[in-house]
Structure 1
Amino acid sequence: MRTYQPSEIEPKWQAVWQERRMHRTDEDRDKPKFYALEQFPYPSGEGLHMGHVRVYTIGDVIARFKRMNGYRVLHPMGADAFGLPAENAAIQRGVNPREWTLKNMKRIREEQARLGVSYDWERYVGTCLPDYYKLTQWLFLLFYERGLAYRKKAAVNWCPTCNTVLANEQVEDGLCWRCDTEVTKKELEQWFLRITDYADRLLEGLDRLPKWPEKVKAMQRNWIGRSEGAHVTFTIPELDHEKVTVFTTRPDTLFGVTYLVLAPEHPLVPKLIRGKENESVIADFIERMRKESEITRTAADAEKVGYFTGAFAQHPLTGENVPIWVANYVLMDYGTGAVMGVPAHDERDFLFARKYDLPIRVVIRPEEGDTDELTEAYTGEGKLVNSGDFSGLNNREAIKAIARHLEEKGLGGPTVNYRLRDWLISRQRYWGCPIPIIYCDDCGIVPVPKEHLPVLLPEDVVFDGKRNPLTTSESFVNTECPRCGKSARRETDTMDTFIDSSWYFFRYTDAHNEDMPFDPDKVKEWLPVDEYIGGIEHAVLHLLYSRFFTKVLYDAGLVPVDEPFTSLLTQGMVLKDGAKMSKSKGNVVSPMDIVEKYGADTARMFILFAAPPDRDLEWSDAGVEGSYRFLNRVWRMVEQHASLFEQRPAPDTTSKEAQELNRLRHRTVKKVTEDVNDRYHFNTAISAIMELVNGIYAYPEDADRGTLADAIETVVLLLAPFAPHITEELWQRMGHQDSVHAQSWPTFDPAALVQNEVEIAVQINGKVRDKVVVPAEADKSEVEALVMKLDRIQTLLEGKTVRKVIVVPRKLVNIVVN
């Protein structure tokens, strides 16, 4: 009998699949479509990690299962290949990032193939390849033509270690998301995309995604941060009544304003402090705030620091002079960069007013009790007081009434504010998609004509880590204006790499189109993605941007859907010793080491069996060994009964043993089908297959052989999506010529699940005293009668009085006695 040798069979079948183009996308339009997609990897020098293995294995099971169930499946792969790590590696090694990246892309493809993942490699895309980034530039020009790409000078997040700008979403707790360096502010001319134009649609779309995790949708809602309120316009007499507008969600408290606060970066601040006594003190404060992160400034426990500018604003409704302060907790990027201080009814304002001895004016009084002696801000409901004509109104009614009044007087009015800011896409680095813009002294900003794309990355650059390498290439920077033909210069910023990953799932539908990013008809054929699998760390960054891109392309008539992903599966992390695997913790397990020792099928089985896909998975060497032993058991099961498949006997399920195995087989098919198709509970599906294997091993030698053959064949078919190599080999050993993965998924017969007899426990006063087999459909009186006739039960009941008989159908009988 041959032994299980994964090192022999896995390369063999991988070569066969490649030669036969087994995983090429089926174009049979009579079949329903299914688009299975895993987030593509960044090609780092370290290759795949266990998190990757988990994502790809989950996706592959779904894709293989759908194929066996009659779907034509699109299951592609690529590489998210631009980015700062490659550039840093180039600086360290003195090589072009292209060499480092292409080498890593090749390695990762080889490792993915070793896992037996059924990708359509003919649709592979690499975002750093000119045929891809040419079309990224094409899309940028589409955004520019539609008024959605623009350039402005702005205070941006700057990482001094990476020497580049970061979008707000790439700053985590005040630190760079890649290198954990503290982020500072810097004034630069930058390119932005108007994602804020789509804020409401991005919010509304979340309500149409029932198959997305609620946690992800909540994270996006919070990031967009829609809040309804009002704009209120104050004027500054000493600046010739220049206006300053604040946003507030509480216009009902407008009569309680006792001061205004401006962000240190607000453009009016230099005018207000000019010539004042504390001008230099405030100027130093402003400079300090430029270097402090937004997270630090706005943290709940951060000290609120402010300075009086010496200027006053005029209240729009009372005409009262209100002092203008500048403070650390007000941000220029949120609202208007100015807030009104209502210390009686806002806890932060209350603490600020107490600290700096500012007036506290009550304008909302609760129905019961009073607010005359405040020890903290009153933020509840009540009636307005000290509020002119609005006094006496319930404050909820007053919110709308005062907002309308401001609108009528031209002093503001109802509005909606968002936390979301336009997407900053400029990056001061080489290894990214060049922005296809030219600057001409005569013509201004000139987009590169589409027929001149791609704008290629040059080779004559200097990687010294001190500047943007693109600025060192004269051949790149110096060009001519496509409009007037005069000397001009190219944009030297490249695009944020999240641009590349915001549309790659469309490219897979038409991966070789040289003229357009994709043919709209091909997108219509496949989109939306039916199942998208990836980490929750991209809940805001990648997923929000992808949804934004999709809505823009929908508006442009290029795609038929405005939401790209129907269902989203966010897999849990792979942990070891309770912590995420990382080199710094010394707890990394190499996927390829596991493949070398046990085979890819064992790695896949463990990763699927150890935990449900959305939960964190604790690595276990013993668990890996257990998966390997199980596959060996399946192998021996087929080897021991190989002769059964030479002259396959017809099944005969008349005997009790054959009936039980046949019933177990159908029950397993039902369980595995529902667990994979409805719930993605791969762990319980594998557990059910294990139970069927146990049933086969327990099956008597002299019982019906045809029923046994059916059960063994079913195990191999059910196991095929999970362990594709061993099942392909066993399928061939069983005498089949075609691939196990080309077979139809097993079906179950509901009639076969019906159990004619069941074994039930018999208890006396709650203790099991006997067991008995009864007809499965027997009613309570019939079961009771059968139990009371049992010799052992009659003996145990002698001399006792039966008080009650409790019958739980198909499970137990409990006889209650004195």
Structure 2
Amino acid sequence: MVQEAYPFKQIEKKWQKRWEKKALFKMRPDSPKDKCYCLMMFPYPSSALHVGHGRNYIIGDVVARYKIMQKFNVLAPMGWDAFGLPAENAAIKSGIHPKESTLNNIKTMKKQLKAWGVGYDWDREITSCMPEYYKWTQWIFLELYKKGLAYKKKATVNWCPSCKTVLANEQVVDGGCERCSSEVELRSLKQWFFKITDYAQRLLDDLGLLKDWPERVKTMQKNWIGKSQGVEIDFKVVDSDITLRCFTTRVDTIFGATYMVLAAEHPLVEDLIKDSKNKSDIKRFIDGVRKESVIERVSADVEKNGVSTGKYVINPVNNKKIPLWIANYVLMEYGTGAVMAVPAHDERDFEFAKKYKLPIDVVIDNPKHSLNPDNMKEAYTEEGVMVNSGEFDGLASTEAIEKISDYMEKKGIGRRKIHYKLRDWLISRQRYWGAPIPIVYCDKCGVQPVKESDLPVLLPEKIKFKPHGESPLKDAKGFVTTKCPGCNKSARREIDTMDTFVDSSWYFLRYLSPKDETQPFDKELVDKWLPVDQYIGGVEHAILHLMYSRFIVKVLYDMGHVGFKEPFGRLFTQGMIVKDGAKMSKSKGNVVSPDKLINKYGADTVRLYTLFIGPPEKDAEWNDRGVEGAWRFLNRVWRLVDQASRNSDAGDADVSLRRKRHSTIKKVTGDMEGAFHFNTALSAIMELVNEIYSSTSKDLKEAISTVVILLAPFVPHISEEMWEKLGNKKSVFQADWPLYDEAALV
């Protein structure tokens, strides 16, 4: 009697044990096979995984299994990005230590990954919050410090009043904290930075090396680096020895500069207003601006507000005296924090000038009709003909850019300059659950790096978590008080911890030698195995993690620690699985747990539907009814194999079935090698199954065997069992991936 439903519970346990016993996913360092480093972004152990998380790991598992069947020596490791705010915030509420909750969450998630049938070389597991890992995160900090790439300075920073910590620019989303959505404030604090700006041009240039990255991701990085070519111009402040430097990409408009604007955070503001009659009004305005988010201030819709300093500057090309203002629409993040305002040819300047009745001087005329500043309803921002610009009158504005740049350099009042929007990476955090920064402060010797032999600087476990604007480590007396590495006298440790993106900027190197106590990674091994052949993760990491990892690898390359310039060869960014049109989250109540579905239908059914739901690079809506469809298909294949295993008839497969078999192999192989369109690969396999069911051929075994092999990376447990039922003694993953014959396609 033919079984109606395949016994997934017994099958899945059986094959998971067997894969573990046979070490299917163990990388063999001495293997002569070609290598394939297949890596999924390691997760933050938040609690339990939902089906949305599963897409990343299942896609990676499909690729790894496919490469195993192609006889590659596959490295597929997994670890945990285990430091971070959520565990600390949870500790504040629940009293459970972050280490305890994190390790418990890791157990849960590891169990879930195994239940999904996702295979890893678990002997290489790493956990970033453990001293044996963060010792080497601290080593990387010291290497950057040695090279002058880690430094501390007072800076205007993004402050989350709820998380009570500093945020990098990249962690501010729409003016709010990416963690808790609280409105971000600006504060002036001493912070540690990594000098990523030294690598801006190389980060930009080397995007050209990344042929197998999505264009979308490369464009996002290019825009974030934000290279601008222009001129830096010096404006002298009247009756002062202060010179203000501004950067412009539109030097052709300089004769139309009728006022100058500073950012509220500009470092010279204090000096400029110290003897001002309306100093208190100016200070009040500055305090108000600092509470506005960066996003609000650069928005085209926001009202432009400002205050006069009472000072004037000299426009260096025509010696005109123009007023100096402070305004909310100018930021220190862009250029120099000082802007020459040309209201006739810049929309923001135009709005501001109209509001405060400041002069508007046209210096680029519209070739179609002459502009009258009194009648203008908006700024003229197009190209045109130079007017009211001295010796440059009559030139095309594009030509004038070069001519005026030459003139300014010759006169020594300006210089051609390249500016980047990219700012240095702020890495210090005023929180507990992170890697301590290995720096000591000595009254005699000043700032001292911890000796490498004294690493790791251990995070104390007994601590009060309540955040109060300074690191909780401040109250850990046994931690703070230490000896100076220079003079051996009493000194104080740095109490800030590192941004968790430092931990994740190098983890892919540690997988090659995760238990090595003598070095962070083995150079010979990483040079052999990297760049990563296939990296898989969410597009939300396009700027943060991917940019930082590229930067750290370039620094390590320059220092001779690695022999490659880019960490990731091929990148795939999967779309999100949503429910009811929204990202799955507990707060929205739309989380779909895989555990119940696996218990009801089996892991292979959940995997199949996850992969069939749509093109993996696009977002997709989860529908439980689709799981039923996946379940029915697997049972259909199961019955086919069950029948074939009982049938000893042999004969020639008909031509049409042979053609279908070879076209399916071609399609599935192409989708595996190309854009990972697993949904269309699975559709092709389903069509082959339909053809087999309708075939009158006596010899179906070859076609059925092909179905099982092609399904194996997608639904590994049932494929192993069906392969065994067909009389094969070895694992389906030891079988050769089938090749198609072009002649059979005709």
Q: Same fold (TM over 0.5)?
A: yes
Aligned position for 2:330: 330
Task: Give the whole-Å Cα distance in 1 for the aligned partners of 2:688 and 2:235.
Answer: 76
Task: Give the match's secondary structure for 2:234.
Answer: strand
**3-state SS of 2:569 partner:** coil
Retained in 2: the 8 A contact 1:90–1:96? yes
The answer to whether the aligner puts 1:668 opposite 2:664 as a matched pair is: yes
Match of 1:431 in 2: 433
**What is the CA–CA distance in structure 2 between the aligned matches of 1:317 and 1:465, rounded to whole Å?**
53
Partner of 1:537: 540
User: How do 1:5-16 and structure 2 match up within 5 A?
Assistant: 5-16=7-18
Equivalences for 1:387-406 in 2 at 5 Å?
387-406=389-408
Deviation at residue 483 of structure 1 after TM alignment: 1.1
Instruction: Determine which of 561, 565, 571 is the counterpart of 2:564.
Output: 561
Could you tell me whether the CA contact under 8 Å between 2:429 and 2:498 is conserved in 1? yes
Which residue number in structure 2 is paired with residue 778 of structure 1?
Answer: none
- What does residue 725 of structure 2 align with? 733
Contact 1:440 1:446 in 2 (8 A): yes
Residue 410 of structure 1 is matched in structure 2 by 412
2:300 corresponds to which residue? 300
> 2:25–2:74: 8 Å Cα contact kept in structure 1?
no
SS at match of 1:309: strand
The CA distance in 1 between the partners of 2:204 and 2:31, in whole Å, is 34
- So what's the TM-score if we normalise by structure 2? 0.97
Which amino acid is the alignment partner of residue 697 of structure 1?
Y
Matched residue type, 1:92 = K
Partner of 1:720: 712
Q: In 1, distance between residues paired with 2:368 and 2:682?
A: 63
- Answer yes or no: is the 8 Å Cα contact 1:353–1:360 preserved in 2: yes
1:291 maps onto 2:299 in alignment: no
Q: Aligned equivalents of 2:297 and 2:662: distance in 1?
A: 62
CA deviation map 1:546-600 (0-9, x unaligned): 1111211121222222122222211111122222222233222101111111111
Q: CA deviation at 1:161?
A: 0.8
Trace 1:354-503 onto structure 2 (pairs within 5 A): 354-373=354-373, 374-466=376-468, 467-503=470-506
Report the Cα distance in structure 2 between the residues aligned to 1:651 and 1:697, rounded to whole angstroms: 16
C-alpha distance after superposition, 1:233-261 (max 9, x if no partner)? 0111322x311111111111111111111
> Partners in 2 of 1:372 and 1:317 — Cα distance?
23
1:26 maps to a residue whose letter is R
Alignment partner, residue 793 of structure 1: none
Segment of structure 1 superposing worse, 378-387 or 101-110 = 378-387
Distance in 2 separating the partners of 1:316 and 1:214: 43
Identity of matched residues, % = 57
Alignment of 1:579-658 (within 5 A): 579-644=582-647, 651-653=651-653, 658=654
> Shift of residue 28 of structure 1?
5.1
Instruction: Name the aligned partner's letter for residue 524 of structure 1.
Output: D
- Aligned residues of 1:28 and 1:72 also touching (Cα < 8 A): no
Deviation of residue 418 (structure 1)? 1.3
Aligned to 1:504: 507
TM-superposition CA deviations, 1:228-285 (whole Å, max 9, x none):
111000111322x311111111111111111111111223323333343322111100
Could you report, residue by residue, the CA deviation over 1:691-726 in whole angstroms, capped at 9, with x for unpaired residues? 1211222233xx43xx31111111111110000001
Task: Supply the distance in 2 between the matched residues of 1:418 and 1:305 (Cα, whole angstroms).
Answer: 26
1:375 CA displacement: 3.2
* 2:697 maps to 1:696: no
Displacement, 1:636?
1.2
CA displacement, residues 476-522 of structure 1 (integer Å, 9 cap, x when unaligned): 00000011000001001000001111111111122222222211111
Counterpart Cα distance in 1 of 2:473 and 2:379 = 54
Shift, 1:751, TM fit: 2.2
SS in 1 for 2:465: coil
How far, CA to CA, are the matches of 1:35 and 1:650 in structure 2? 42
Deviation per residue, 1:106-128 (Å, 9 max, x gap): 11111111111121111111111
Q: Determine the C-alpha separation between the residues in 2 that align with 1:744 and 1:267.
A: 67
* Structure 1 unaligned regions, length at least 5: 755-818
The CA deviation at 1:651 is 4.8
- Contact 1:174–1:182 (Cα < 8 Å) also in 2: yes
User: Hey, what's the Cα distance between the residues in 1 that align with 2:721 and 2:357?
Assistant: 82
The answer to whether the 8 A contact 1:330-1:339 is kept is: yes
In 2, are the aligned partners of 1:272 and 1:310 still within 8 Å (CA)? no
Aligned partner of 2:526 in structure 1 is 523
SS in 2 for 1:530: strand
Q: Tell me, in whole angstroms, the C-alpha distance in 2 between the residues paired with 1:431 and 1:95.
A: 13
Amino acid at match of 2:692: I
Q: Quick one: which amino acid aligns to residue 652 of structure 1?
A: D
Partner SS, residue 568 of structure 2: coil
Show the counterpart of 1:174: 175
SS at match of 1:189: strand
In the TM superposition, residue 650 of structure 1 has moved relative to its aligned partner by: 6.0
Higher relative contact order, structure no. (Cα contacts within 8 Å, ≥ 6 residues apart): 2
2:268 corresponding residue in structure 1? 268
Equivalent residue of 1:238, what SS? Answer: coil
Deviation at 1:152, TM superposition (A): 0.5
For residues 83 and 678 of structure 1, the distance between their equivalents in structure 2, rounded to whole angstroms, comes to 36
Counterpart of 2:29 (choices 13, 16, 27) is 27
Take 1:355 and 1:589, find their aligned partners in 2: how far apart are those partners? 53
SS at match of 2:348: helix
Q: Is the 8 A contact 2:428 2:497 kept in 1?
A: yes
Distance in 1 (alpha carbons) for counterparts of 2:301 and 2:467:
37
Amino acid at match of 1:720: A
Query: What one-letter code is carried by the residue in structure 2 that aligns with 1:13?
Result: W
Aligned to 2:75: 74
Describe how 1:768-783 pairs up with structure 2 within 5 A.
none
**In 1, Cα distance between the equivalents of 2:579 and 2:288?**
42
The AA in structure 2 aligned to 1:597 is: K
Query: What is the CA RMSD across the aligned residues, in angstroms?
Result: 1.5
Give the residue type in structure 2 aligned to 1:299.
S
Rounded to whole Å, the distance in 2 between the matches of 1:752 and 1:362 is 73
Q: Are 1:651 and 1:710, in contact at CA under 8 Å, matched by a contact in 2?
A: no
Q: 1:167 to 1:343 in 2, by over 3 A?
A: same
* Superposition deviation, residue 72 in structure 1: 1.3
1:146-196 Cα shifts (integer Å, max 9, x gaps): 111000011111111111110000001110000000111112111000111
CA distance in 2, matches of 1:476, 1:276: 47
Q: Tell me if 1:678 matches 2:693.
A: no
Listed one character per residue, the Cα deviations across residues 76-133 of structure 1 (whole Å, up to 9, x for unaligned) are 1111100000111111222321111111111111111111112111111111111110
Q: Which amino acid aligns with 2:173?
A: E
The code of the aligned residue for 2:10 comes to E
The 2-side partners of 1:477 and 1:407 are apart by: 52
Q: Quick one: which amino acid aligns to residue 695 of structure 1?
A: E
Match of 1:749 in 2: 741
Deviations 1:521-566 (A, max 9, x none): 1111111112211111111111111111121112122222212222
Quick one: which amino acid aligns to residue 397 of structure 1? E
Residue in 2 that maps onto 1:140: 141
Counterpart-to-counterpart distance in 1, 2:183 and 2:278:
29
Extract unaligned runs of 5+ from structure 2. Answer: none
**Higher gyration radius (CA):** 1
More deviation, 51-60/202-211: 202-211
Question: Which stretch has the larger CA shift, 604-613 or 558-567?
Answer: 558-567
1:687 aligns with 2:683: yes
Contact 1:532 1:569 in 2 (8 A): yes
Counterpart in the other structure of 2:84: 83
Matched, 1:548 2:551: yes
Contact 2:155 2:189 in 1 (8 A): yes
With 30-39 and 486-495 compared, the bigger mean Cα shift is at 30-39
1:152–1:189: 8 Å Cα contact kept in structure 2? Answer: yes
Paired residue type of 2:82: A
Any conservation in 2 of the 1:383–1:393 contact (CA below 8 Å)? yes
